[in-house]
A and B are shown apart, each in its own frame.
Chain A
Amino acid sequence: SITGVCQAIQKLTRVRVVDNSALGNAPYHRPPKCIHVYNKAGVGKVGDKILLAIKGEKKKALIVGHKMPGPTMTPRFDSNNVVLIEDNGNPVGTRIKTPIPYILRRREGEFSKVLAIARNFV
């Protein structure tokens, strides 16, 4: 991204899809952007679900890392990372190579399928 760091992920942030789904990795002339955050505050942190606009379609996604520094001992990533997800919580891709924070394991029930396809943890 070109603009400076702001408040984690909110509406209109450009995100980076890190799984190996076809929708996430296909080239398109516009980067995937967040259009809604499923949160009381409009700001999404690690573990929040958002709505993305990719390739002219709407798709839900899960935030797995952002550029904003969080609580100490949690990792801060150099890009806003996101994993595409269906409405029932099933991930679209089959593998996640980028490191995922261990904090996501706290909500093992909701994200068990996403954590199962993740390879590296930080």
Chain B
Amino acid sequence: VNSDGKPTKFQPPPKPVIIDKRRPQEERRFLSPEFIPPRGRTNPLKYYMERKDMIQRRKVFNIPEFYVGSILAVTTADPYASDKVNRFVGICIQRGGKGLGATFVLRNVIEGQGVEICYEMYSPRIQAIEVLKLEKRLDDNLMYLRDALPEYSTFDVNMKPVSHLDHEEVPVNKLQVRMKPKPWSKRWERPQFNIKGIKFELPEEKMKAAQKWSKPWLEFDMMREYDTSKIEEKIWKEVSEALRK
């Protein structure tokens, strides 16, 4: 009871933050894919110098962790926009390029019109990158969203950021997308694309006929092997130490 004599308003107890102390609380390690050098015979000095520049940029400007399938909001400096800034919200459908030329493509459907913008991650024109929803999808490349029904590419421009804990694993959205009727821009049912995120409503004969183009020997091809685990370890140590300073 209050000092006034009136009963106090019921304050619900604060929600308990469940920290499972049995499992080791490791911070999730994420090395952005553009740090990993491509396979080739170029001098590693070139990649070292590029990494130095990338780290320099990241010290000044925060590029958050995101994956293909996360929803981002990017504000760029645009001399032709009113307020000189241009904000675009979209789902990341592709991350390409290595080094300073790394790009990511955001897609959204505005007023019934599908729009895609390819942003350069290290461009000085970018003022802010905000992750509204951090999640992964079943595929690394969501280009098939162009041929999917537009509801799967529409995202609210004013959506609020969805919070995500640092130490938990990134949630994988096992959404199976429904497609517009064929013809599509690419024959996504073919095994070369290896797409798991589409609900194919094609007849069985078409799916079997698509398997004619499968190359089951490719996964055993030793000349195509590129083991990046050791390179990643080295680069992760280098980058995390440099960013911590």
Chain A residue at minimal CB-CB distance from B120: A72
Q: How far is the CA of A121 from the CA of B116 in the complex (A)?
A: 13
Q: Which secondary structure characterizes the binding site on chain A?
A: loop
Q: How many residues of A contact B (CB 8 A)?
A: 26
Pair A99/B125 contact, Cβ less than 8 Å: no
Pair B185/A4 contact, Cβ less than 8 Å: yes
Using A105-B80, A122-B110 as known contacts, say yes or no to A75 and B116 having CB atoms under 8 A apart.
yes
- Proximity string of chain B (92-123) to chain A, C-beta cutoff 8 Å, 1 when within and 0 when not: 00000000000100000011111111111001
Q: How far is the CA of A5 from the CA of B147 in the complex (A)?
A: 13
- Proximity string of chain A (3-40) to chain B, C-beta cutoff 8 Å, 1 when within and 0 when not: 01100000000000010000000000000000000000
Q: How far is the CA of A76 from the CA of B88 in the complex (A)?
A: 13
Number of inter-chain CB pairs below 8 Å: 65
Pair B80/A103 contact, Cβ less than 8 Å: yes
Using A2-B183, A102-B86, A105-B80 as known contacts, say yes or no to A73 and B125 having CB atoms under 8 A apart.
yes
Pair A99/B113 contact, Cβ less than 8 Å: yes
Using A78-B146, A102-B80 as known contacts, say yes or no to A73 and B119 having CB atoms under 8 A apart.
yes
Using A4-B185, A73-B125 as known contacts, say yes or no to A78 and B80 having CB atoms under 8 A apart.
no
Q: Is B18 an interface residue (CB 8 A)?
A: no
Pair B111/A98 contact, Cβ less than 8 Å: yes
Collect the chain A residues with CB atoms within 8 Å of residue B116's CB.
Answer: 75-76, 78
Q: Is B154 an interface residue (CB 8 A)?
A: no
Using A2-B183, A5-B185, A102-B81 as known contacts, say yes or no to A77 and B113 having CB atoms under 8 A apart.
yes
Collect the chain A residues with CB atoms within 8 Å of residue B88's CB.
Answer: 75, 122
Q: How far is the CA of A22 from the CA of B51 in the complex (A)?
A: 56
A56 to chain B, nearest CB (A): 27
Pair A99/B115 contact, Cβ less than 8 Å: yes
Using A99-B110, A105-B80, A122-B110 as known contacts, say yes or no to A69 and B115 having CB atoms under 8 A apart.
no
Q: How far is the CA of A105 from the CA of B100 in the complex (A)?
A: 29
Q: How far is the CA of A104 from the CA of B86 in the complex (A)?
A: 14
Contact pick for B81, options A76, A78, A121, CB 8 Å = A121
Using A73-B125, A121-B81, A122-B88 as known contacts, say yes or no to A98 and B118 having CB atoms under 8 A apart.
no
Q: List 21 A-B contacts (CB under 8 A).
A: A5-B185, A18-B113, A69-B118, A72-B103, A73-B123, A75-B116, A76-B115, A77-B113, A77-B114, A77-B115, A78-B115, A79-B113, A97-B111, A99-B111, A99-B113, A99-B115, A102-B80, A102-B81, A102-B86, A121-B81, A122-B117
- Which residues of A line the B interface, CB within 8 A? 2, 4-5, 18, 65, 69, 72-79, 81, 97-99, 102-106, 120-122
Extra pairs beyond A65-B113, A73-B76, A79-B113 (12, CB < 8 Å): A5-B185, A72-B123, A75-B116, A75-B117, A76-B115, A79-B114, A97-B111, A98-B113, A102-B80, A120-B110, A120-B111, A122-B110
